[in-house]
Amino acid sequence: MNNLVIGQFIPGKAWLYKLDPRTKILVTVAYVFLLVFANQWPAYLLAAAFLGLTLVLTGQSLALYWRGIKPILWLILFTVCLQLLFTGGTPVLWHWSFITITVPGVVNAFYVIVRFVLIVLMSTALTLTTPPTSIASALESLLAPLKAIKVPVAELALMLSIALRFVPLLMGETDKVMKAQKSRGMSLSTGSLWQRSKAVLPLLIPLFIGALQRALDLANAMEVRGFESADNRTRYRVLSFTQADVLATIATIAFTVLFIGTLLIHF
């Protein structure tokens, strides 16, 4: 469970770490948005190049990204199967009773793989180089305009960062309870489906109770330290745009223009 790369922050000193988290979030969102429109190989090629550059700038080894992709391989495989089986059209490559595999199906399946991998790796690059707390405060800053229509942005950002903080805690807790119940003979890998789903209860109940207890403790700890409202708080790390952000923005705009260009030109 500790090998999960997606969503994990790994400290480093590479160029991407110097970027303001807001820039990184905006670039990632723009990238994912643009990819939705990609329908030809030159667009994918360009997107892959941009991603390649980003990954190099994270300063992490490519082996790490491979480890990040591995756990979601089955998910990709599943989507590929759907594409292969349910895309119609001609010419037909192979046909057997109800299974029909067509050329557009294969092409689509390939694109799905590429799109999936590109999106996942880009988001991984974001979370890998940005501490969760920075992501939360960046979101708060980006969503600040919504305060005008009474959206509690600061509270939402605080909730987000607390939720993120709880992820590793809960994972540790799951491991502990799992071991305790295994010692009492719990087995999740035997028995009928009904028995197996019932076997999860001894795991879930202690976890929920533990999480609630922790949440109450945290709320008390915040209150005794004088927490009243998430609004108008000063922070230890003040977000500020630097030259690096200007560079990143220029690169992204250049990429966007080129990308839209490839969409307009038909090869």
Partner 1 sequence: MAINIEGLTFHYGGAKQSPTILDDINLTIPSGRITAIVGQTGSGKSTLVQNLNALLLPSGGQVVVGDQVITSKTKEKALPAVRAQVGMVFQFPENQLFAATVLEDVMYGPKNFGKTAEEAEELAKKALNRVSLAEEFWQRSPFDLSGGQMRRVALAGVLAMNPKAMVFDEPAAGLDPQGQLELLDLLRSLRTEGKTVVLISHQMDQVLALADQVVVMQDGQVAAVEAPDQLFQRSRQWFLDHSLDLPTPVAFAKDLEEKGYHFDHLPTSVADVAAQIAKQVDWSQVTEPVNVAGADWQSQQASQSSADQVLTSNSRGGDLHE
What is the size of the binding site for partner 1 (CB under 8 A)? 21
Nearer to partner 1, 2 or 97 (CB): 2
Nearer to partner 1, 163 or 212 (CB): 212
Site membership for partner 1, residue 210 (CB under 8 A):
yes
Other Cβ atoms less than 10 A from the Cβ of 3: the count is: 9
Task: Tell me the window of 70-78, 87-95, 101-109, 172-180 that interacts with partner 1 (CB under 8 A).
Answer: 172-180
Residues of span 115-144 touching partner 1 by CB under 8 A: none
Using an 8 Å Cβ cutoff, are 259 and 47 in contact?
yes
Site membership for partner 1, residue 206 (CB under 8 A):
yes
Here the tokens at position 165 are: 């903080």
Nearer to partner 1, 39 or 197 (CB): 197
Buried b (16+ CB within 10 A) or exposed e, 193-203: eeeeeebeeeb
CA 244 to chain centre: 23
Site membership for partner 1, residue 63 (CB under 8 A):
no
Among 144, 151, 171, 205, binds partner 1 (CB under 8 A): 205
One-character DSSP codes across 117-177: HHHHHHHHHHHHHS-HHHHHHHHHHHTGGGGGGT--HHHHHHHHHHHHHHHHHHHHHHHHH
- Residue ranges that bind partner 1, judged by CB under 8 A: 2-3, 176-177, 179-187, 189, 201-203, 205-206, 209-210
